Chain A
Amino acid sequence: MTKVRVWAIAATSVAVLATGCSFGGSDKGSSSGAKSITVEYQNFPILDPQRVGWGEWITGAGILEGLVDLNADGTGVVPATADTWKASRDGRVYTFHIRDTAKWSDGQPVTAADFEWTYKRLFTPGSGQAAVTTGANSYVVSTGISGAIDFLSGKLKDWSKVGVKAPDAHTVQLTLDKPNAGFLQDLAYPAMVAMPEHVVSKHQKDWQTPANFVGNGPYVVKAWNINSSMTLTPNKYYWDQKSIGLKQINVRLSDESQAALHFRNKEIDVGPIGSANLKPFQQNKSLADQLVRMPAFGLSYLAVMHSKNPLLQDQRVREALALGMTRTDMAKTCAGCRPAYALVSDSVPGYNKSVELTEDVAKARKLLAAAGYPGGKGLPPIHIVNDGANPVLEAIADTWKRNLGVTTKIEVLDPGVYVEKRAALQPANYIGFYYGSFSQLPSWQAWTTVLWGPDFTSQFSLSGADWATYTKMAASTAANSGIRAQTFVAQHRSAAATQFVNLVTKAAQNLDPDKATQQFMQAARIRRDTDLFIPTVISDSFWAVRKDITGLHLRSGFYFPFYFKGVSVAGTK
């Protein structure tokens, strides 16, 4: 060996050793033939079920477990840490029994007190410690647990008055303000999983590290290399050992998913396939056979932006724009997309066309003419803002131009600019919509109460001036400013928004599921006719799943759409 070679090898070795470089060491690539799988998932900075984010979703996928889990198609619930439960006749009190065999991964029993502590943590305003929840969870609203909102806002100080009780080690009692037909499904949301009080309290700052992490799900965190990978291994204390089908799960964490490339290169076994990579996958028979479709994952929409220019407050103009699109053309621009005619996913049980709008270009032209803009003449350009380029936007602009003679300006903005702009009151020379996408559990309640629910529908119906007043009041630090702002909205929203809010409230309290569904549907129709939010396309989500993987059920509405529980690899031990 020459001197040069020796020096080169020495320098390289020293460089690697001296810099202290360490590898994640969990992602071993595609694991065909072994009882382990590699899953690609969105990177996350925090692994806390009560912090809204990607980490929240993966904890609920099999690391931490709640009282109930969703069933295979996501339309109902199955027992999890609770083996039985019953609801009171008035639908306000739910009593859960924690199964005797439920244990944490350190061998400690999971108790009702753990659940009470967990929910108290969820409903407690920011405790001032890093990595501790600030109680940020809109989920609280939909559970309707008595006193939870007031406790979270600080209005109620006495925890004993919140509807969460643990009368004994195996009983959790949850009391609601009013009946909530979707309560059990809400409990399957990742934020409602149990957390180990004895660990989180002891290791307040670093309970999320693998060395300290203790869970009650089928798998435990063995390693977590932030920004790179995570390794999960079986929890030997899990109550349902039969459901643990894998020896190891490698989670590959990625900011910009390249799952299609990684799957083709056999680096992963399961991963989400984005719209851009869908067609090549579908055209390759071998890959197409491994593609699993999750229907109706994201519904894209336009939401009207507040402006000093009252033009878009004219409902005729909004309706003309909603009816004057050609959604079939728009859907062709993105793989896996279909036209969306309603603000309710067609995956919701009992979905029917009565909630859909009917495209009608002739009617749209008449409406526009009646509003004073025949053939789009005199109408200033309509802006559409988004935080990324999207061919659907171009298609919207194209169909509006073609059908209505309306000119559109598309603005692709940095996320920071986008979030500021969509909430700001636009100047008088600016009218437009912002573009967004939304997903939710397949239930009528979810699709009528969350996002385009009572709050947004009320706020978006305000005039530009009222919106300015409302945002000022909401931003104020004065006492009761939040309540004052809400009251202001209730007093100034449109009549249709008030009708929508009242109907949704009634439906949520209705214990008769059929009647409740009818009321939610009627509310959805009222909201549709406001045209404050215009549905554009609905996209399916696709995951590549290696052929021999069994027991993996994709559930619409969840950003980590399957449980690790029950997943296995066929033909391996």
Chain B
Amino acid sequence: MIVFILRRLLRIAVSLVLVSIITFVLLQAAPGNFADISRLTQAGPNGASLESSVGALQSRYGASVPGWKQYLKFMQGAVTGNMGPSFQYPQLTVQGIIEKAFPISLTLATLAVVLALLIAVPLGIIAALRRNSALDYGTMFGVTALHSMPSYLLAIILILIFSVSVHALPSSGWNGPQNLILPVAALGLSSAAVLARYVRSSMIETLRAEYVVAAYARGGRERTVVVRHALRNSLIPLVTVTGPLLAVLMTGTLFIETVFEIPGLGQYFAGAARARDMPLLMGSTLFFAVILMGMNLVVDIVYGLLDPRIRAEGEWSQWRRRRRASPVQV
């Protein structure tokens, strides 16, 4: 297992280097630069020129420093944990921004997943138990409709209902728990739709399993059979979906953070892309990549631990078989 993890970590490292190169090259190729765009978007009414605010960064990223050197300097900083100041926020370091903003995105994502699970699991089970009934069709129609609606559209609908019409909740801002409700709902409802379909199909499959049929045959009550025997096994596939979903939500709250004006990492990321803030864009892209890849690795490990069949059939065993076949230890 350790070798499996090491091998995956190596792959992640290579992927991160590729991600960083692609991001850097695309950023260099993009028209405009930080100083020009700031001049346009931040200039006062006198059209005052904004010189580059990267005075402290001239040695790292100044015009006289070749692109490849800038890249290497950034990567050196990324590896040593000193990515330096952002162009836009020269008083803050890139890692400082991530430390401050990511917990906000993580909170949104975590609460959204919790909400999604709280909705999706009962809905999926009910739909599976009442398969092909009006309840099943109605539930699945509802979740399909929710799933096909982008979260930012759902966000606007929620704002129109709860802020504009009812005046019950703030339409945006980040001042207290009341500001969590609409964004978490917008993220969670869309995600619930995905999860409910998984729970339903997994539950249907489990209900057909012989041990479930046997449990019924032994005279088990439906509630007992479903909760004790079927539910636990049917939720295992959820791990493969929920982990990456959490990662996707953590790194993909960009639209929701923008709509609700939440100072999470997604908002910084979008601002960095607009302003061509190279250190912040590179830093947050790499951070997002680490989160996504790391979460996938965690899911694979957890899935393997939960289900012995995966250990026997999956990449773990391939590695083990290859090791057995080869006399040379790698």
Contacts and interface: CB of A to CB of B under 8 A. Distances in A.
A21 B103 contact: yes
A448 interface: no
A132 B55 contact: yes
Given A21-B104, A416-B37, A130 B173 contact: no
Contacts of A439: 45
A416 B271 CA distance: 13
Interface in B94-138: 100-101, 103-104, 106-107, 110-111, 114, 118
B263 A227 contact: yes
Nearest to B44: A52
B114 A208 contact: no
Given A56-B44, A129-B55, A261-B164, A21 B107 contact: yes
B179 A20 contact: no
Interface stretch (A89-97, A133-141, A531-539): A133-141
A138 B45 contact: no
A227 B58 CA distance: 26
B85 A419 contact: no
A225 B176 CA distance: 13
A19 B110 contact: yes
B109 to A, nearest CB: 9
Given A255-B271, A420-B36, A450-B47, A265 B31 contact: no
Interface stretch (A25-33, A113-121, A352-360): A25-33
Nearest to B170: A267
Contacts of A24: 173-175, 263
Contacts of B58: 126, 128
B244 to A, nearest CB: 18
B268 A227 contact: yes
Contacts of B37: 415-416, 419
Given A53-B42, A559-B44, A134 B56 contact: no
Contact of A20 (B40, B85, B103, B271): B103
A15 B187 CA distance: 15
Interface string A40-56: 00001110000111101
B118 A419 contact: no
Contacts of B258: 255-256
A309 interface: no
Contacts of B48: 52, 136-139
Contact of B41 (A131, A252, A262, A415): A415
B42 A12 contact: no
Contacts of A438: 45, 47
Nearest to B250: A19
B45 A557 contact: yes
B30 A130 contact: no
Contact of A229 (B45, B173, B267): B173
Given A256-B258, A416-B276, A267 B176 contact: no
A23 B179 contact: yes
A395 B272 CA distance: 34
Given A46-B91, A130-B85, A205-B91, A228 B47 contact: no
Contacts of B31: 414, 416-417, 420-421
Interface in A72-101: none
A252 B173 contact: yes
B302 to A, nearest CB: 17
Interface string A266-277: 110000000000
A329 to B, nearest CB: 27
A267 B39 CA distance: 31
Contact of A262 (B46, B118, B171, B174): B171
Contacts, number: 191
A17 to B, nearest CB: 10
B196 to A, nearest CB: 16
A411 interface: no
B107 A258 contact: no
Contacts of A451: 46-47
A258 to B, nearest CB: 7
A417 B173 contact: no
A134 B258 CA distance: 30
B106 A21 contact: yes
Contact of A440 (B36, B45, B91, B103): B45
A377 interface: no
A342 interface: no
Contacts of A131: 90-91
A11 B56 CA distance: 43
A136 B173 contact: no
A571 to B, nearest CB: 23
A16 B263 contact: no
A127 interface: yes
Contacts of A22: 103-104
Nearest to A256: B258
A451 B43 CA distance: 11
B46 A446 contact: yes
A45 B32 CA distance: 20
A11 B114 contact: yes
A224 B178 CA distance: 20
B38 interface: yes
B222 interface: no
Nearest to B262: A228
Interface string B261-282: 1110001100100101000000
B114 A128 contact: no
B139 interface: no
The 4 A-B pairs with the shortest beta carbon distances in the complex, nearest first, are A416-B32, A126-B55, A227-B263, A21-B107
Interface of B: 30-33, 36-53, 55-58, 85, 88-92, 100-101, 103-104, 106-107, 110-111, 114, 118, 159, 163-164, 167, 170-177, 179, 258, 261-263, 267-268, 271, 274, 276
20 contacts: A25-B175, A46-B90, A46-B91, A57-B44, A126-B51, A138-B46, A138-B47, A139-B46, A227-B271, A229-B173, A255-B261, A256-B258, A264-B164, A265-B164, A267-B172, A415-B32, A415-B37, A415-B40, A440-B45, A558-B45
Given A138-B48, A139-B48, A557-B45, 14 more contacts: A19-B107, A21-B103, A44-B42, A52-B50, A126-B55, A128-B56, A138-B49, A229-B173, A229-B174, A258-B261, A265-B171, A266-B167, A267-B170, A267-B171
